[in-house]
Copies of this chain bind each other. A is one copy, B any other.
């Protein structure tokens, strides 16, 4: 078997019915009745989104989960995905086996299948791209542009763990329990919540809370006012003290959902997110831009504005 046949043999068991056993030029997919399709694509590059020695199974799972998080931000349920791999020819076979095992684990966890893909040799770096297909009730996709003045700003889970975890992986921060590192390597996308009719707008926190909130503000023509003290923080992050605040507010890779929710829908939101904490951290107002207020009521001056990869 040459390398392409090896890849095919490893990936064929991952293919669902629509993938035609990965034996055709393309996959065929009939979307569920009454549903629109939601499509998104994300790539992970060696040296940019992951480090050369990282566990290939975790790289695979993060690749899928970043895309799953984009679907969650649209209020969509995941269905299937396509994959391209560009791999240097000297990559050990164990890497590929670990990568396929990671795909398999998360396919089972999220009920998705591989539809098709393309494998190629690369000259040097590993480059991976996944295109995800989800579905949503027709006309019910969550957008960034639907926030209204007076809507609460809500966020799921805790914010800033992944940015601190990246610092821990770089040896700049202690992480005795491994929690922060794990949050950086293996995000927990908030798929499966029924948010239509509850949230007016949504985005996932991939570039950093302040930057992603800015995306909703620009799309909706509004300002956002956030209380720093309300932003949910894990005990492991809190243990590193208040000096990490700026990194937590502007660091990326959290993959939590950031939502615009009218005040009268707060209880419905909590019910829809059963099992996951969801916290009101501020309010949308007329105007533009994102302001984060510190404990003294003064606006913080945040120098970093979003994650620019490694």
Contacts and interface: CB of A to CB of B under 8 A. Distances in A.
A39 B27 contact: yes
Contacts of A116: 39-41
Interface in A33-65: 36-43, 45-49
Given A49-B120, A124-B124, A124-B125, A40 B28 contact: no
Interface residues of A, number: 59
Interface stretch (A90-98, A131-139, A278-286): A131-139
A131 B143 CA distance: 22
B121 A26 contact: no
Nearest to A143: B24
B37 A28 contact: yes
Given A45-B123, A86-B43, A86-B127, A29 B37 contact: yes
Interface in A105-125: 115-118, 120-125
A15 interface: no
Nearest to A131: B131
A84 interface: yes
A204 B26 CA distance: 11
A129 interface: yes
Chain B CB count within 10 A is highest, among A28, A29, A116, for A28
Contacts of A40: 25-27, 82, 116
A76 interface: yes
Given A25-B203, A70-B26, A143-B24, A41 B131 contact: yes
A135 B41 CA distance: 19
Contacts of A136: 28
Contacts of A133: 39
A112 to B, nearest CB: 14
A127 B204 CA distance: 25
A20 interface: yes
A13 to B, nearest CB: 18
A115 B38 CA distance: 10
> What 8 A-B pairs are tightest by C-beta distance, nearest first?
A26-B40, A131-B131, A25-B70, A25-B73, A129-B129, A41-B82, A127-B127, A43-B84
11 contacts: A25-B70, A25-B144, A26-B141, A28-B38, A28-B74, A28-B136, A31-B37, A39-B131, A45-B127, A121-B309, A124-B125
Given A23-B219, A28-B38, 12 more contacts: A25-B40, A25-B71, A25-B204, A26-B134, A29-B37, A41-B82, A45-B86, A48-B120, A48-B122, A86-B127, A123-B124, A127-B127
